[in-house]
Amino acid sequence: MPTSFYTAPGKFYRGNLHTHSDRSDGVLDPQEVCQRYHAEGYDFISLTDHFVGLYDYPITDTSNYRDNGFTTILGAEMHTGAMSNGLIWHLLAIGLPADFTPPDAPNFVSHDSSETGASVAQRARDAGAFVAIAHPHWSRMTEADAHSITAAHAVEIYNHGCAVDNDRGESLMVLDHLLDQGNHLNLIATDDAHFNTPDHFGGWVMVKATENSPEALLAALKAGEFYSSLGPQIDDIRVGDDYVEVDCSACVTIIVQGRGTGTATVHGASMTTGHLSRERLGSSPWLRVTVIDRAGKRAWSNPVWVGD
């Protein structure tokens, strides 16, 4: 029997997990941010304002902007402690309780007595949050930096704001190194929208849940029941002993990646399914899938662990 990726009941809900408002350095107020995402066909967002003293440690309450077709998950982008380059950590915490105790982070500069990034990430995870390492390329973190955040559920491998504004939006290399070292991490694509540049509606997650509620979405995020996209859909992935099959929206390329240099690729026209041999993936303990459409837009599955 092949291992299917998306076996949980429910349907896919589209969401953006990294967003700012004027409660920190975004341009729009929280209600307007929610309205715009709703109007663009999103099912949910997490407003993740910068959790520093400069902005009064906001965990912005967006619950008033929920309705039948749209929901919100409380969250924040946390900052504390220094990476090896001396710059402060940026860590996403989705599903943070409103009374989460802030680190001593007056602004975006780490100080000698700062809580470490690893510590605040662990506290956020223990408090029930889905934790992601934000924009590794933009932050210029090392693999060792990323490796130190042991509480992370995911790596933000696509950040649309960073892609649009400084061409440092992609961080698949950091993720793949961590996977090769045996870290069971998922991946997310986000906007990091501030609405002061064309930094919105570019990257999102598709979360499979039984209902569009903050609780169900958060549980599905933690369980890895989602994929990330800049456009294409991934409907199903089946992993057999010697093959991988992918069902998706019309695409021109399907790739399966694994440990080291292991990859398998099929190119075609308007493909909605692909059958790829695992021969060149060797004995990789993990596999993940990329789908690319005619416009060059990509979607990424989470890794699936198929061995030790």
**Residue ranges in contact with Zn ion by CB under 5 A:** 77, 90, 134, 192
Residue 246 has phi, psi (to 5 degrees) of -130, 130
Closest distance of CB 88 from Zn ion, Å: 9
Find the shortest distance in angstroms from Cβ 39 to Zn ion.
22
CB of 135 to Zn ion, least distance (A): 6
* Residue 75 vs 258, nearer CB to Zn ion: 75
**Which residues are within 8 A (CB) of 8 and not within 5 positions of it... i.e. 6 or more apart?**
208, 209, 210, 220, 223, 225
Nearest to 276, CA basis, from 286, 285, 287, 76? 287
Nearest residue (CB) to Zn ion, 199 versus 225: 199
Which position's Cβ is nearest Zn ion? 90
How many Å apart are CA 143 and CA 211, to the nearest integer?
A: 36
**270 φ/ψ sector (left φ>0, alpha ψ -120 to 50, else beta):** left
Residue number, 130 or 286, with CB nearest to Zn ion:
130
CB of 60 to Zn ion, least distance (A): 13
Q: Could you give phi then psi for residue 93, rounded to 5 degrees? A: -125, 110
Nearer to Zn ion, 77 or 293 (CB): 77
The minimum distance between CB 158 and Zn ion, in angstroms, equals 13
Element (H or E) spanning 143, and its range?
A: helix 143-148
Q: What is the dihedral of CA 146, 136, 223, 64, to 10 degrees?
A: 130
Query: Least separation, in Å, of the C-beta of 190 and Zn ion?
Result: 8
Stretch (H or E) spanning 158: strand 154-159
Q: Closest CB to Zn ion among 26 and 258? A: 26
- Comparing CB distances to Zn ion, the nearer of 200 and 278 is 200
